Structure 1
């Protein structure tokens, strides 16, 4: 009987060992690869406290060795509560002398964040007070670059304008005025009807918002000409092809031309949340004397001319804008490129999804040639079925071989994020001084890459609709304004349970577990991910975005 028990014990032990090594294959000899310790330091006054505006910059900055320092949370905005503008200015003034440079959101310093800027007004005196502060900041730190950005108002009327019909009429009026300004024919009768239907008070409030912003940006442009601001980027938030915001943008562009400012000093771009990250990338590339050559590839012949939701321009224009903004240049072919920016923007109604299998083979071919790929994986209807990632997983394409991935929100956000993070990685690798530094850079990059895959695909294409539907089914109608004491906690519980299930399955996929070869100027390395953990929550009481941080456990398996 004793022998039987011993035999059973041995069989069970063998079975357990087989199960353990199936889930956790033996890691070749070596130590875990750690991210590099930051060697440079820069300040960031973020557009607001959301992860894309703050945490993305911190995490991507680490790829290139930057410690990105941000104001303490007590000064930062929180959802509808604006930030402490006076405290923010004081913090900036006290901390800039110890830093290389500062990336500064004007909307945060003047209004207290992006949401506050959409609703609050700033008098000419308040604007002038900020301008005087920036002059003083430059005088006290003449050798510290001040890299500022300001966001043009979006077309959507302010929340303080009441009435569904009034807002609908203002949007229609804006579109007609935009077409009229562009020299296109419009229905003059309909324009006149809208002018009569909209109350004078709301018309004035709506238009004054654009006038106020244009006056502020003219003052900022003047600071660039004076040399106070090293660079100024004006972003257009949630645009359309024809609208009053485009009229304001045209006025400012003409003023920049009149002042004779080159685009490396003052530029207008589409987007908002990704601007701080692209400015950090441009600063890094300029500091390193590096201009990455980026080839734009498309998943479908129609993609280059496609205008995605919330955009005023097509995909090709977005890509070229973001390449320029991050300090890169467009390459004529994949062979001469440092990076291939692969743009996928699928729309099942236009049958672009039929080429997905071919797209996967194309990506596989690029990876087999050791090409650096930044994959932008967009969906016209924000659906998993329109994206490429499910096929990459099904075909066991090694995802850690990608240099960047993004599929978040608008085309400008996603293209800007992927282009910037990939450029930071290439620049850092080009300047790595040792194999250890090259591996540390790779570790930081894979951290950012996996953050983006888990949020942009697994949450935004898989889980957000489930969370919203469950909340609404229980009677909570407004998922953009959750109750911190009740449904916000429930939503967090749903988020964590569902995403941890995704992670458990994802960690066992061949696409994640496969060893990948990483080519760097310091040599070629083969790395293996043994494990991936994740922490996440809703940073604001709404389901639109999440805070997500992964910890990849990476090992070097061989060196060649």
Structure 2
């Protein structure tokens, strides 16, 4: 039988956005094809969109499904899409390749996703246009004031006028022009969905908040979706980097999957998120739908258990946080007891740790060491709550169709290394050894950072394997850890999990 063949065009080349979705597909026995390196972006350097289009048209004849990031296809990558000056006409012309390949191959499923331009929380001149480093605060204030005025009317006019006056006209015009171009790209994608070119479309909000231009764009897109009647095959929600995982899970296990969500606190669904515009429970629901999942009424009828570690009240950035995260609103030992009972009962369990953004909660990770971690179907604790949830849900949904246990173990272990050992602990330790490092560009401290990283994390990787995975009979080879980009935010941990010894 010919393996299911997936073409994957990711938002960029970081391990969670490229290697993880590819690994999830591979563990089900699917063949995964990715574009040649020159076609994909390198940090804020755009990929070669012409090369990418040629690669797609050359490979698509034997593919069953295409999972594609619209920003990579049309503007050179998710981050370059915030920075490049390519015209809307050029972007829309590149988008037409999807119509051509669908017309030529009617059985091809095209699962696409786009990312509404974020309003960055940080004054980052590298992921955003360079002027954001100087004017980020003012642009965020304008974003909030504009949306408040749009929603609440003239009572917000003075705040909007003040925010508008604080920004040079050319900078505001350029920023709004970039947003308008990308919004028009997403509106055209909605038309492709309506025409049947796309099988499913996700439009996500990266690093969003209750008020802002991203929320305003969301409402415009939702109104167009209403007019086109495409909601059966559309999701618009907070997320970004994890969407390739969700869409691969949707494609490779197309049946609706029932999920029992177990929260670490009874108030879990109501807890607040730092980078999303809705509470945890609503965030879970939208991520389940994107992957083709629904809530189960009982654990017994569920295909898998999604174990969600929520904060007591609200996410916080530094741990431990006893004011809003580690509060009396949850009881982690009882959460661990419930997960042990789930595993003992033979239930499929995938863990999503969203108590803190950007890494595992160390208290939970310590308690998890009492469980047989190799028996988990999935684990995730990286970046935003949406990033974590989408990845953990994809692990859980695909667990029933895994054919390569070695690949599944490798994908699971890689997330534990990155999300817990690095994001949860070692990243801060490396930062502490450097001299006032910039969060945006390490400059000449990159080599020292990577040396410290290898010294700290390599023995911990081996110790985690020995404690929880050595009894699987599989083997582990650990390569040299390094950084994906010239900043501490994303590490790369080459790991090779081999067949039984």
Determine if contact 1:464/1:543 at 8 Å carries over to the other structure. yes
Aligned length: 484
Determine if contact 2:325/2:355 at 8 Å carries over to the other structure. no
For each residue in 1:271-320, what CA deviation from the matched residue of structure 2 results, as whole angstroms up to 9, or x when unmatched?
A: 1111111111111122xxx2221011110123212222222222111211
Query: Which aligned pairs between 1:267-286 and structure 2 lie closer than 5 A?
Result: 267-286=235-254
Query: Which aligned pairs between 1:116-265 and structure 2 lie closer than 5 A?
Result: 116-156=80-120, 159-160=128-129, 162=131, 166-183=135-152, 187-264=156-233
For each residue in 1:312-362, what CA deviation from the matched residue of structure 2 results, as whole angstroms up to 9, or x when unmatched?
A: 222111211111111111101212111111110235322535612222112
For each residue in 1:88-125, what CA deviation from the matched residue of structure 2 results, as whole angstroms up to 9, or x when unmatched?
A: 10011111112212111111111111110011233232
Deviation at 1:382, TM superposition (A): 5.1
- Determine which of 500, 506, 514 is the counterpart of 2:464: 506
Query: Which aligned pairs between 1:387-398 and structure 2 lie closer than 5 A?
Result: 387-393=363-369, 396-398=370-372
Cα distance in structure 1, aligned partners of 2:5 and 2:134: 50
For each residue in 1:199-225, what CA deviation from the matched residue of structure 2 results, as whole angstroms up to 9, or x when unmatched?
A: 222222222222222211111111122
- Determine which of 550, 554, 558 is the counterpart of 2:495: 550
- Aligned to 1:293, the other structure's residue is in SS state strand
Query: Which aligned pairs between 1:308-457 and structure 2 lie closer than 5 A?
Result: 308-346=273-311, 348-350=322-324, 352=326, 355-380=331-356, 386-393=362-369, 396-426=370-400, 428-429=401-402, 437=403, 441-457=404-420
Q: TM-score, normalised by structure 2?
A: 0.90
Question: Is structure 2 residue 241 aligned with structure 1 residue 297?
Answer: no
For each residue in 1:165-209, what CA deviation from the matched residue of structure 2 results, as whole angstroms up to 9, or x when unmatched?
A: 632122112112223333389654332222222222222222222
Determine if contact 1:304/1:315 at 8 Å carries over to the other structure. yes
The unaligned stretches of length 5 or more in structure 2 are 312-320
Cα distance in structure 2, aligned partners of 1:253 and 1:59: 33
Cα distance in structure 2, aligned partners of 1:337 and 1:263: 23
Deviation at 1:547, TM superposition (A): 2.1
Determine if contact 2:358/2:384 at 8 Å carries over to the other structure. no
Residues 104 and 207 (structure 1 numbering): CA distance in 2 closer, same or farther, change over 3 Å? same
- Aligned to 2:288, the other structure's residue is in SS state helix
- Aligned to 2:454, the other structure's residue is in SS state helix
Structure number with the bigger relative contact order (C-alpha 8 A, sep ≥ 6) is 1
Cα distance in structure 1, aligned partners of 2:482 and 2:187: 39
For each residue in 1:120-150, what CA deviation from the matched residue of structure 2 results, as whole angstroms up to 9, or x when unmatched?
A: 2332321331243332222222322222211
Cα distance in structure 2, aligned partners of 1:543 and 1:446: 26
Residues 499 and 404 (structure 1 numbering): CA distance in 2 closer, same or farther, change over 3 Å? same
Q: CA RMSD in A?
A: 2.4
Determine if contact 1:471/1:487 at 8 Å carries over to the other structure. yes
Deviation at 1:57, TM superposition (A): 1.1
| Larger gyration radius, structure 1 or structure 2 | 1
Determine if contact 1:468/1:479 at 8 Å carries over to the other structure. no
- Aligned to 1:182, the other structure's residue is in SS state helix
1:523 alignment counterpart: none
1:18 alignment counterpart: none
Determine if contact 2:357/2:385 at 8 Å carries over to the other structure. no
Determine if contact 1:379/1:386 at 8 Å carries over to the other structure. no
1:539 alignment counterpart: 484
2:318 alignment counterpart: none
Cα distance in structure 1, aligned partners of 2:363 and 2:38: 39
Determine if contact 2:75/2:84 at 8 Å carries over to the other structure. yes
Residues 545 and 164 (structure 1 numbering): CA distance in 2 closer, same or farther, change over 3 Å? closer
Residues 480 and 322 (structure 1 numbering): CA distance in 2 closer, same or farther, change over 3 Å? same
Deviation at 1:549, TM superposition (A): 4.0
Determine if contact 1:353/1:386 at 8 Å carries over to the other structure. no
Deviation at 1:444, TM superposition (A): 2.2
1:522 alignment counterpart: none
Determine if contact 2:336/2:368 at 8 Å carries over to the other structure. yes
Larger mean CA deviation between 52-61 and 543-552 belongs to 543-552
- Determine which of 440, 444, 448 is the counterpart of 1:480: 440
Deviation at 1:466, TM superposition (A): 1.4
Residues 489 and 174 (structure 1 numbering): CA distance in 2 closer, same or farther, change over 3 Å? same
1:31 alignment counterpart: none
Cα distance in structure 1, aligned partners of 2:276 and 2:154: 22
Q: TM-score, normalised by structure 1?
A: 0.81
